[in-house]
């Protein structure tokens, strides 16, 4: 009896020293039952001890896909990357997937979502297997189609026989009523021998968002890293071998500059030949050509920029070179502002144009260009803005002919 206990103890100690790089030969949750019997004249006595084999953690095999799409708007569309995890342990365990953006280009705000913790089954074959089934310890399961060591009907399993790796979907499980189960599949394979590791394979889908394109017409790329962790072994990470790619259509803008002589309307073209705009609550007609003027006359310019492309324009600013040798910028003509502004949502504002960064509009004499206005959604004194597809921005300012 003592010898038997010592042998069993040594066996379990050897299993406990197994690392993730060396697969256990016995499935987790296997019950090792030793029954010792003493026979003697007139009768017999017996004693039984049961030992349950523990999980031997092992780093999983993982891979990750990459996908492509056509950028249509900020964070649209999401692309799906799939992290495939295959257990190499001797029993079931939980695996946590933590994704992150490794690198990206031509974007601000690319991100990835979808980290998850998933249970993944595993076992080791014992006894007789065949070309369409393997025999594994029951792991506490009872009854046909029961889950065995975390492996259930419709799960995908992976195993290697003679250097060939097979991937199969479990169609049923069969209770052998002797403490073992059959995992059955369709499709013939080589026959696994006893001690073959059977790992479930699961996929965790990640949602990769493009953020906002920086330069329309240039592809957005994002490389994803996924770190997979499980108890007892070091984390395993995988990086896209190729980046996720969003193609972006080239920018397409209609930009028109209009002018009107405010001092002498007779020096404007015939009424009805221009376009009307409401500037600072006053509606007037403005023209793209044919306007004349004299020294001392005031001219009002209107610049309209329309995004006629399929994607948002980012980094938007309107600049103009006011010819200071011939005209002077009028100040305080729009309330206290020098420049009148119509945003993409048609809201209006007026800005004092001075030093760069002091306001959303700046005017620096002697510079080329000397007038710059940050326009679009999110524009400020320090930031350019974004013009959504189909939207327009407008600015207006006045000068006096010297």
Q: C-alpha angle 370/371/375, rounded to 5°?
A: 145
- Cis peptide before 366, with omega less than 30 degrees from 0? no
Q: Are residues 92 and 240 in the same domain?
A: yes
In the prediction, which pLDDT does 16 show?
31
Arithmetic mean of pLDDT, 382-388: 94
Q: C-alpha angle 379/71/203, rounded to 5°?
A: 125
Q: Are residues 28 and 131 in the same domain?
A: no
Number of domains within the chain: 3
pLDDT digits (tens, 9 = 90+) for 46-56: 876 665 555 57
pLDDT at residue 179 tops 80: yes
pLDDT digits (tens, 9 = 90+) for 346-378: 999 999 999 999 999 999 999 999 999 999 999
Q: Are residues 242 and 290 in the same domain?
A: no
In the prediction, which pLDDT does 3 show?
31
Q: Are residues 180 and 114 in the same domain?
A: yes
In the prediction, which pLDDT does 123 show?
93
pLDDT digits (tens, 9 = 90+) for 189-239: 999 999 999 999 999 999 999 999 888 889 999 999 999 999 999 999 999
Q: What is the CATH number of the domain that holds 296?
A: 2.60.40
Boundary-marking domain end, from 225, 248, 271: 248
In the prediction, which pLDDT does 76 show?
95
Concatenating the DSSP letter of every residue in 16-67 gives HT--TTS--SS-TT-EEEEEEEEEETTEEEEEEEEEEPPP---PPEEEE---
Q: Are residues 393 and 293 in the same domain?
A: yes
pLDDT digits (tens, 9 = 90+) for 236-282: 999 999 999 999 988 899 999 999 999 999 999 999 999 999 999 99
Q: Are residues 293 and 358 in the same domain?
A: yes
Contact partners, residue 316, CB within 8 Å, separation at least 6:
305, 374, 375, 376, 379, 384, 385, 386, 387, 393
Q: Are residues 209 and 223 in the same domain?
A: yes
- Domain range spanning residue 16? 2-52
Q: Are residues 210 and 289 in the same domain?
A: no
Given pLDDT bands bounded at 50, 70 and 90, which one contains residue 7?
very low
Q: Are residues 261 and 238 in the same domain?
A: no
Q: Are residues 71 and 210 in the same domain?
A: yes
Q: Are residues 83 and 183 in the same domain?
A: yes
Given pLDDT bands bounded at 50, 70 and 90, which one contains residue 84?
very high
What's the DSSP call for residue 209?
E
In the prediction, which pLDDT does 56 show?
77
């Amino acid at each position: 009896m003592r010898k038997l206990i010592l042998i069993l103890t040594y066996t379990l100690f050897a299993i406990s020293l197994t690392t993730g790089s060396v697969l256990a030969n016995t499935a987790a949750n296997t019950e090792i039952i030793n029954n010792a019997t003493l026979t003697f004249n007139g009768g017999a006595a017996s004693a039984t001890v049961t030992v349950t084999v523990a999980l031997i953690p092992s780093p999983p095999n993982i891979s990750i896909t990459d996908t492509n799409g056509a950028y249509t708007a900020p964070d649209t569309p999401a692309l799906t990357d799939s992290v495939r995890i295959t257990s190499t342990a001797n029993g079931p365990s939980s695996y946590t997937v933590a994704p992150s953006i490794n690198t990206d280009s031509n974007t601000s705000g690319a991100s990835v979502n979808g980290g998850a913790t998933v249970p993944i089954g595993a076992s080791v074959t014992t006894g007789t297997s065949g070309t369409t089934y393997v025999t594994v310890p029951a792991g506490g399961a009872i009854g046909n189609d029961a889950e065995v060591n975390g492996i259930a009907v419709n799960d995908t399993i992976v195993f290697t026989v003679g250097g060939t790796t097979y991937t199969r979907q479990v169609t049923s499980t069969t209770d052998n009523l002797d403490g073992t189960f059959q995992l059955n599949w369709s499709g013939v394979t080589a026959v696994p021998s006893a001690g073959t590791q059977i790992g479930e394979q699961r996929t965790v889908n990640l949602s990769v968002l493009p953020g906002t394109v920086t330069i329309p017409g240039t592809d957005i790329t994002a490389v994803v890293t996924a770190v997979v962790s499980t108890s007892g072994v070091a984390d395993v990470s995988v990086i896209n071998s190729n980046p996720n790619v969003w193609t972006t259509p080239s920018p397409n803008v209609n930009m028109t500059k209009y002018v009107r002589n405010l001092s002498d309307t007779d020096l404007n073209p015939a009424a009805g030949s221009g376009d009307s705009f409401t500037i600072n609550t006053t509606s007037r007609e403005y023209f793209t050509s044919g306007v004349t003027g004299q020294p001392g006359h005031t001219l009002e310019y209107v610049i309209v920029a329309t995004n006629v492309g399929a994607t948002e324009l980012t980094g938007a600013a309107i600049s103009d070179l006011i010819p200071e040798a011939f005209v002077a910028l009028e100040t305080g003509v729009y309330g206290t502002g020098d420049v009148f502004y119509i945003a993409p949502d048609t809201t209006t504002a007026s800005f004092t144009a001075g030093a760069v960064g002091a306001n959303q509009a700046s005017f620096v004499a002697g510079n080329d260009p000397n007038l710059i206005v940050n326009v679009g959604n999110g524009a400020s004194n320090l930031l350019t803005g974004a013009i959504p597809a189909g939207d327009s921005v407008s600015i207006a300012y006045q000068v006096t002919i010297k």
